[in-house]
Chains A and B, each alone.
Chain A
Amino acid sequence: MPLFDKKDKSRYETFTRRTLMVSGGMTAVLAALGGRLYQLQIKDGDLYHTAAEDNRVNERLVAPPRGRILDRFAVELANNRRNYRVLLVAEQASNGTAAALDTISRVIALSDQQKKRVMRDLAANKRFVPVVVAENLSWDEFALVNQHLPYLPGVQPDVGETRAYPYGAELSHLIGYVAPVSQSDKQTDDSDALLDLPGFRIGKRGVEKEFDTEIRGKAGASRVEVNAYGRVIRELSRDPSTAGKDVYLTIDRELQNFADQKMTGQSAACIVMDCQNGDILALSSTPGFDPNLFNVGISNDEWKTLTTDDHKPLINKALGGEYPPGSTFKTAMAMAAVQNGLADLQVNCNGALQLGNNTFHCWAWKKGGHGHVDLKRGIAQSCDVFFYEVARHLGIDKMHDAATALGIGSRTGIEIPGERPGFMPNSEWKLRHTGIPWQVGDSLSAGIGQGYVIATPIQLCTLAARIASGKAVSPRVVHAVGNVVQPRPVPNPLPFSDEAFQKVREGMNAVTNEGGTAAGFRIAEPGFEMAGKTGTAQVRKISKEERASGVKKNGSLPWALRDHGLFVAFAPVAAPRYALACITEHASDAHPQVVIARDVLRFAQQRDVVGLKTLYPVNAASEQTGTRRT
Chain B
Amino acid sequence: MNTRPYAATRRMLSVTDKLFEVNWGLVLLIGIIACIGFAMLYSVAGASFSPWAGKQMAYFAVGLVLLIGASLTDIRFWMSIAYPAYVVSLILLVVVLVAGHSALGAQRWISVGPIEIQPSELMKIALILALARFLHGLSVEDVSKPLRLLIPLVMIAMPAALVLKQPNLGTTIILVADGISLLFLAGLSWWWIAPAFGAVASAIPLAWRFFLHDYQKQRVMTFLNPESDALGAGWNITQAKIAVGSGGLTGKGFLQGSQSRLNFLPEKHSDFIVTNYAEEFGFVGSIALLLLFAIVIGYGVQIAMSARSQFGRLVAMGLTLNFFFYILINGAMVMGLIPVVGIPMPLLSYGGTAMLSVMFGFGILMSVHVHRQVEIPRHSGGII
Contact = CB atoms under 8 A, between A and B. Distances in A.
A38 B245 contact: no
Contact of B328 (A29, A34, A45, A56): A29
Nearest to A27: B294
Contact of B313 (A15, A33, A34): A15
A487 to B, nearest CB: 51
B335 A19 contact: no
Contact of A40 (B244, B294, B304, B310): B244
A48 interface: yes
Given A19-B317, A41-B286, A55-B264, A7 B139 contact: yes
Interface in B291-331: 293-294, 297, 301, 304-305, 308, 310, 313-314, 317, 321, 324, 327-328, 331
Nearest to A26: B324
A525 interface: no
B139 A10 contact: yes
Contacts of B139: 7, 10-11
Nearest to B373: A3
Contacts of B332: 33, 36
Interface stretch (B101-109, B168-176, B183-191, B216-224): B183-191
B192 to A, nearest CB: 13
A596 B294 CA distance: 99
Contact of B278 (A11, A37, A225): A37
B340 to A, nearest CB: 16
A153 B302 CA distance: 65
A313 B274 CA distance: 69
A333 to B, nearest CB: 72
Nearest to B293: A30
A45 B294 CA distance: 24
B91 interface: no
Interface stretch (A226-234, A265-273, A302-310): A226-234
B29 interface: no
A26 B290 CA distance: 12
Given A15-B186, A30-B290, A55-B259, A49 B301 contact: no
Contact of B245 (A29, A47, A226, A229): A47
A37 B287 contact: yes
A38 B332 CA distance: 13
A36 to B, nearest CB: 5
Given A19-B305, A22-B184, A37 B248 contact: no
Interface in B230-262: 239, 241-249, 258-259, 261-262
Given A14-B140, A37-B283, A37-B287, A22 B321 contact: yes
A397 interface: no
Contact of B241 (A3, A11, A48, A228): A48
Interface string A465-505: 00000000000000000000000000000000000000000
Contacts of A51: 242, 245-246
B228 interface: no
B282 interface: yes
Chain B, interface size category, equals 35 or more
A143 interface: no
B240 to A, nearest CB: 10
Interface string A1-45: 001000110111011101100110011011001101110111011
B283 A41 contact: yes
Contacts of B331: 33
B248 A41 contact: yes
Contacts of B336: 40
Contact of B248 (A42, A53, A229): A42
Contact of B244 (A11, A34, A37): A37
B264 A19 contact: no
A228 B262 contact: yes
A187 B327 CA distance: 54
A47 B246 CA distance: 8
B310 A15 contact: yes
Nearest to A50: B246
Interface in A75-129: none
B181 interface: yes
Contacts of B327: 30, 33
Interface residues of A, number: 42
A52 interface: yes
B181 A22 contact: yes
A562 to B, nearest CB: 66
B165 interface: no
B242 A37 contact: no
Contacts of B185: 15, 18-19, 22
B378 interface: yes
B225 interface: no
Contacts of B375: 3
B263 interface: yes
B158 interface: no
Contacts of B264: 52, 55-56, 227-228
B262 A56 contact: yes
B337 interface: yes
Given A22-B184, A40-B335, A228-B262, A8 B287 contact: no
A19 B301 contact: yes
A227 B246 contact: no
Contacts of B297: 23, 26, 30
Given A15-B186, A15-B310, A52-B258, A41 B245 contact: yes
A7 B264 CA distance: 57
Contact of A42 (B140, B181, B249, B321): B249
A229 B140 CA distance: 59
B258 A56 contact: yes
A582 to B, nearest CB: 63
Contacts of B184: 18, 22
Interface in B354-384: 375, 378
Contacts of B245: 40-41, 44-45, 47-49, 51-52
Contact of B187 (A18, A41, A233): A18
A45 B335 contact: no
B58 to A, nearest CB: 29
B335 A37 contact: yes
Nearest to A226: B262
A26 B305 CA distance: 16
A45 B186 CA distance: 43
Nearest to A21: B184
Which of B139, B186, B242 counts the most A-chain CB atoms under 10 A from its CB?
A: B242
A19 B246 contact: no
Contacts of A44: 245
Q: Which of B181, B259, B293 has the most CB of A within 10 A?
A: B259
Contacts of B186: 11, 14-15
27 contacts: A14-B140, A18-B184, A19-B185, A19-B301, A22-B185, A23-B297, A30-B294, A33-B290, A33-B331, A33-B332, A37-B278, A37-B283, A37-B290, A38-B283, A41-B245, A41-B249, A41-B282, A45-B245, A45-B248, A45-B283, A46-B248, A48-B243, A48-B244, A49-B245, A49-B246, A49-B248, A55-B239
Interface of B: 139-140, 181, 184-187, 239, 241-249, 258-259, 261-264, 278-279, 282-283, 286-287, 290, 293-294, 297, 301, 304-305, 308, 310, 313-314, 317, 321, 324, 327-328, 331-332, 335-337, 375, 378
Given A15-B313, A42-B249, 9 more contacts: A12-B310, A15-B314, A19-B301, A23-B301, A30-B293, A37-B287, A45-B246, A49-B246, A55-B262
